[in-house]
Structure 1
């Protein structure tokens, strides 16, 4: 029979309990670490693969346009804590592979400078990998002075390889959507 310590607790059982408690603590700390790391890792995964409608960033223009046309619609949403109005460009219809430039128009209607940033998405999601931005206001934070109105350009193309994917033959329209937020660096 196991010897009891003067406190009435079996020393072997106490060691096992301590090991289980330590293992549980390490697991909990590890889960918190994974939770914090998951958001940037997921964003990186989406940017690399185009998963979830994340457009690609292009370093070069496409090789050339093809005959198939695509309509691109533009959408904008502004978070409640950002004192901006943002008007999207009108839709365009153009040949796949042709480089296009459109402007969103943003106005700061507050009495102070405000720095904002935009998060983007493409619908339908499966077209995201084929939507390539060469230049975009969304690559950096934007600061608007009180009452200032600015054109915010996007230079983009739809990759002609979309036409090679037979599963995407039915896609005739792509929507590029931006949600604008106050920058985390606002006021610093």
Structure 2
């Protein structure tokens, strides 16, 4: 008596494989999207909280002016790939807490062709950053200077009077605002200096 040689039917490929592949693609795409979004989100977080020495930015009005003053110093740095001369027009000012002030930086393009730069900034000591409010500035915006062109960059700011009543900042008598100008990523790519363009990030300078 012959035994049956009928083979068991092959299992059909489950639709779950396609669903799994689509899910993995979605996760990867989401991670890529988050990596691009992380930088501007982090910058927004820092600007809102003062984290990492980032002064707050926005049109918020001062709660009022008091007689106590604080010294604000201005620092300027230029990445070596940017052929600019960049300096503050004032080294230091003494301002009343809560009083809005205007200060200026000055730049000149030393190159024989147009050059585009972008500035980053920070405040020291870091613990004072949440009390330093910039209502207008030139940071994170591309600035293009023609050969030998000079430009003045204004900024407006005020220091929250609450800095004097916070035990952690009551000893702060001087705040330093530092700007660093880098060559923009697009400009650095065109000039062949991308590898040395500096630590600034693409989404911030587009």
Which TM-score applies when normalising by structure 2? 0.72
User: How far 1:134 sits from its partner (Å)?
Assistant: 1.6
2:141 matched residue in structure 1: 140
Distance (whole Å) between structure 1 residues aligned to residue 95 and residue 175 of structure 2? 12
Counterpart contact for 2:127–2:168, Cα < 8 Å: no
1:180 matched residue in structure 2: 181
Indicate whether 1:157 and 2:158 are aligned.
yes
Bigger Cα displacement from structure 2, 56-65 vs 110-119: 56-65
Indicate whether 1:98 and 2:102 are aligned.
no
1:79 matched residue in structure 2: 79
Indicate whether 1:47 and 2:47 are aligned.
yes
Distance (whole Å) between structure 2 residues aligned to residue 100 and residue 32 of structure 1? 41
Alignment of 1:6-17 (within 5 A): none
Alignment of 1:50-61 (within 5 A): 50-61=50-61
User: How far 1:37 sits from its partner (Å)?
Assistant: 3.7
Counterpart contact for 2:133–2:157, Cα < 8 Å: yes
Distance (whole Å) between structure 2 residues aligned to residue 50 and residue 165 of structure 1? 15
Distance (whole Å) between structure 1 residues aligned to residue 177 and residue 109 of structure 2? 22
Aligned length: 179
Distance (whole Å) between structure 2 residues aligned to residue 46 and residue 55 of structure 1? 8
Which TM-score applies when normalising by structure 1? 0.78
2:199 matched residue in structure 1: none
Counterpart contact for 2:83–2:109, Cα < 8 Å: yes
Distance (whole Å) between structure 2 residues aligned to residue 60 and residue 161 of structure 1? 14
User: How far 1:164 sits from its partner (Å)?
Assistant: 2.9
Cα 1:46/1:33, change in 2 over 3 Å: same
Distance (whole Å) between structure 2 residues aligned to residue 96 and residue 44 of structure 1? 25
3-state SS in 2 of match to 1:52: helix
Gaps of 5+ in 1: 1-10, 12-17
Counterpart contact for 2:131–2:163, Cα < 8 Å: yes
3-state SS in 2 of match to 1:168: coil
Cα 1:25/1:77, change in 2 over 3 Å: same
2:64 matched residue in structure 1: 64
